[in-house]
Structure 1
């Protein structure tokens, strides 16, 4: 029964934490940026064109530079990606998404460190995630801190 009470208490704390995240400023900014992006017809058209071209690009990747349209499709997809990435609502969405991700990564690290200082925590940064210490070993011996 004690384990059940501890589990219930843990679930209550989990609910409180999730409510805090949902009520946070980064989450609110993310939701607003997502809605703005979804309602921006220009951005949606650019995203759809990019996704369509991405399918073509994946098809030519099987043959690589030997595909007759390789150069044209490779150039076109880079242009479409740049055009899409320079759209204001896409920029705002990516910024809000990154801020929310950063906050969630920080929460994950705090939770992991409260259990043990040696738990490996993904940082969201591939440079650190691929290191032998996987984003920080907590011991300080690997030099990642």
Structure 2
């Protein structure tokens, strides 16, 4: 690839955008919440318990409801997940992670719309994936208005 002024300029602008995301309040909150969870012994114990139950759950899922411990492991998994989700540090971390993911989805949507109006942008939720236009994203193949 031959470096042109345009490609070098584009790389500089992407570096600036990455720097803006890395210095944003959302990213700083995400990092502080992640560090708070990593340094909290109670949260780490809960995560360890969840991972242990998750291993049992995966084993039970291989056999489905025919596994002898199916109901007890499913119940234990739900209880453990509820306990983990109710921890305030973990809840704050998940919330910060979702907000950062939403920001990155918005940036991706802006890029996609700058390239083409028919690009679909995966947002992580298949029910809310967005396209730049109201069309199907197939270039008008379905006869919708693009």
Could you tell me the TM-score, scaled by structure 1's length?
Answer: 0.87
Shift of 1:78: 0.6
CA deviations on 1:88-108 (whole Å, 9 max, x unpaired) are: 001000110011001100011
Alignment check: 8 A CA contact 2:109 2:132 kept? no
**Residues in 2 aligned to 1:126 and 1:119: alpha-carbon distance in whole angstroms:** 15
The answer to whether the 8 A contact 2:118-2:135 is kept is no
Q: Which runs of 5+ in 1 are unaligned?
A: 130-134
Q: 1:27 to 1:16 in 2, by over 3 A?
A: same
Q: Distance in 1 between matches of 2:105 and 2:22?
A: 15
Rounded Cα–Cα distance in structure 2 between residues aligned with 1:106 and 1:12: 20
Alignment-derived partner of residue 48 in structure 2? 48
Structure 2 residues not aligned, in runs of 5+ = 137-143
Equivalent residue, structure 2, for 1:124:
124
Could you say which residue in structure 2 is the equivalent of 1:24? 24
Paired positions, count:
137
1:68 aligns with 2:68: yes
After superposing on structure 2, the runs of 4+ consecutive aligned residues of structure 1 that deviate more than 6 Å are none
* CA–CA distance in structure 2, aligned partners of residues 2 and 82 of structure 1: 54
